[in-house]
A and B are shown apart, each in its own frame.
Chain A
């Protein structure tokens, strides 16, 4: 397969509510920024891949009004109703197969819909919906199981928040840019046991986009992010059918991406990682699934500071999902942050000598579906 690179990216700022902009305007801003970053015009793009959820957008077909500002008019375009990182996977296959350049765009304006109700609708109408399960409560079940099975204290979880929110202060695009301390996390209201309010990601408004290219369509005048490995997978839907303290489909996705990229020891071979931490506990669960440590040892990496900036493998240098969560677009945000790191263009939060980066996007309830992308600054 011919190597494929990310050659440009664009992000809006992430905010609690972009009341001054329609969702078409938010989409346009990100798509245009990605084209500008890649030094391209809309005419240079061969195909467009979108990721958007109807119910999150409050639309019957959210791409019906979203495709045009995303630049898809008269183009080969498809839309995923899935996490934005999976749109990168689809675009990767399209470029590897047929096209020279693809534009990937994802968005959400969470402020316009009741997210707890929207995510409650993901549960089957017979057994779980009426129990009141939604994304938050399902994530809390996972967090509680993880904490009790592995003896993880609320203080350790709060350290994840302190790390990510501290990092977000250096990311001009982030939604929550005020650092918080462990004490502040622990004294924030108990929202959904064991999750304090600050253990949970916000819901944000925003959009982001990347340009993928291969061969001669990759300009030689600057560094890019070459896609070295990519994998995705899905778990069982029913919460009762799985061990809630683990993320098996993330482990499978990572396994595929590592095999493709030839990575054997991720902790040593990766320079930076952006994971999709739905809550502070989920970041530690992700460490285990991604093979940064053994199962049950995620907390140790936090306690040792191994994933802080300056540590062995900095994770979520952008501030992660705990700082910005444009829901559908969140996985694509992770890919963009990994791209910025390996192309040495992370404004304000660059990790020195970041050559190989991992990006992780999650979809469904409690990360039922996961995608892992390995990017390298070298072809």
Chain B
């Protein structure tokens, strides 16, 4: 114990529907090289690799990690592959953290990817997540599943489609400043409300895209980080929690209990007791526009859902608001599934290092979350959270 860890470099590829110009290893090479350059390190400085990729049905190759081993410089190094659905990138970052804090390694490349553009049947692949005996036959997809929970939550919590539209508009406008974002659309809440209905109350612009892309971070021991002359992002706390997968039975699919427990665990490790005062920026994993409404509450920024509705109306999470949520544009604008949760970590790390292209001023601490499986209204079967900061604990 007594060890610490910091992120010293991040790298992303431009997210898009289809990267037809590269193969999987070529995409991963692009991402790994960019990340090493950002950290001012060479591949020989890396002790171990954690690879994240969610369902390989999207990518059309079993074990894209093994295919990419040569391209990312993993040959002869310890490498393992993490897959917790949409939470994959968050789980991979946590796995990397354990690599360092256990004392086994001094520097780890955590690299995640997905090429959803390799399939034209993404929802059919999502459908195979569900039990083949009971649920799969209903042709359940992620969007319908989420819509069911959102309808229930709207009724119970008292927010409307307008609140969702306000969040979506904010995220899409934030993405205009993010060179890596997939969707860069200057849309108003009215534009969101008028976009095509997909599964009520979800309209096209309430829903994340499916993207091709990769993201990576380099994590090193505190000892190594202290010797670096540039700002680094200290990992101050982390948490993970797994819930259960039975949409019809689980109340937590409506209550964000999974996310909340992971976030509380991360706050506890980071010594954060008043998130509203101590957290300056959040990159939450929220694939649908409603998720942020409840997050203000479940992430501890206010004391009730009622208050969080007021937060939406007051612009609490806007770039000019009290605590900006998703300066990058978030999952609503870029969603390379297995990498999406690592993008959250990379974005917060860059914020804490003070060199994000869409920088929030004076960031002391930021929060990144991940969520995968069983998509209820912003809830998840697998939840992860990480608090990163400018200064060590």
A321 to chain B: closest CB distance in Å? 19
Residues 54-105 (chain B) with a chain A CB within 8 angstroms: 54-57, 60-63, 65-70, 74-85, 91, 94-95, 97-99, 101-104
Segment from B186-194, B234-242, B291-299, B340-348 that makes contact with A: B234-242
| Bound Cα distance A368, B74 (Å) | 12
Are the C-beta atoms of A68 and B244 separated by less than 8 Å? yes
Indicate with 1 or 0, residue by residue over B112-137, a CB within 8 angstroms of chain A CB atoms.
Answer: 00000000000001111111110000
B305 proximal to A (CB < 8 A):
no
| Bound Cα distance A114, B199 (Å) | 35
A331 to chain B: closest CB distance in Å? 12
For residue B135, which residue of chain A has the nearest CB? A65
Indicate with 1 or 0, residue by residue over A300-344, a CB within 8 angstroms of chain B CB atoms.
Answer: 000000000000000000000000000000000000000000000
B267 proximal to A (CB < 8 A):
no
A364 proximal to B (CB < 8 A):
yes
A7 to chain B: closest CB distance in Å? 18
A97 proximal to B (CB < 8 A):
yes
Asked, given contacts A236-B75, A237-B67, whether A90 binds B98 with beta carbons under 8 Å apart, the answer is yes
| Bound Cα distance A122, B66 (Å) | 8
Segment from A52-60, A147-155, A188-196, A351-359 that makes contact with B: A52-60
| Bound Cα distance A145, B53 (Å) | 33
Are the C-beta atoms of B81 and A82 separated by less than 8 Å? yes
Indicate with 1 or 0, residue by residue over A73-90, a CB within 8 angstroms of chain B CB atoms.
Answer: 111111111100010011
Are the C-beta atoms of A61 and B242 separated by less than 8 Å? no
Could you say which residues of chain A place their CB within 8 Å of the CB of B240? 76-78
For residue A1, which residue of chain B has the nearest CB? B103
B381 proximal to A (CB < 8 A):
yes
| Bound Cα distance A96, B132 (Å) | 38
Are the C-beta atoms of A97 and B101 separated by less than 8 Å? yes
Are the C-beta atoms of A90 and B95 separated by less than 8 Å? yes
A22 to chain B: closest CB distance in Å? 8
Residues 72-112 (chain A) with a chain B CB within 8 angstroms: 72-82, 86, 89-90, 92-94, 96-98
| Bound Cα distance A63, B86 (Å) | 12
B105 to chain A: closest CB distance in Å? 9
Are the C-beta atoms of A65 and B131 separated by less than 8 Å? yes
- Tell me which of B82, B102, B382 contacts A96 (CB under 8 A): B102
Could you say which residues of chain B place their CB within 8 Å of the CB of A48? 242
Could you say which residues of chain B place their CB within 8 Å of the CB of A90? 80, 95, 98
Counting contact residues on chain B (CB < 8 A from A), the size range is 35 or more
Are the C-beta atoms of B83 and A249 separated by less than 8 Å? no
| Bound Cα distance A256, B131 (Å) | 41
A217 proximal to B (CB < 8 A):
no
Could you say which residues of chain B place their CB within 8 Å of the CB of A79? 82-84, 91
| Bound Cα distance A25, B298 (Å) | 34
Could you say which residues of chain B place their CB within 8 Å of the CB of A94? 98, 102
Interface centre among A61, A249, A256 (most CB of B within 10 A): A61
Are the C-beta atoms of B61 and A97 separated by less than 8 Å? no
A379 to chain B: closest CB distance in Å? 18
For residue A87, which residue of chain B has the nearest CB? B80
For residue B97, which residue of chain A has the nearest CB? A97
A118 proximal to B (CB < 8 A):
yes
For residue A54, which residue of chain B has the nearest CB? B55
Are the C-beta atoms of A55 and B62 separated by less than 8 Å? yes
| Bound Cα distance A89, B95 (Å) | 11
Could you say which residues of chain B place their CB within 8 Å of the CB of A92? 102
Q: What are 11 contact pairs spanning A and B, CB under 8 A?
A: A54-B57, A55-B56, A63-B382, A68-B244, A73-B242, A76-B265, A81-B65, A81-B81, A90-B95, A97-B97, A236-B75
Top 4 closest pairs, chain A to chain B, by CB: A60-B129, A93-B102, A77-B242, A96-B102
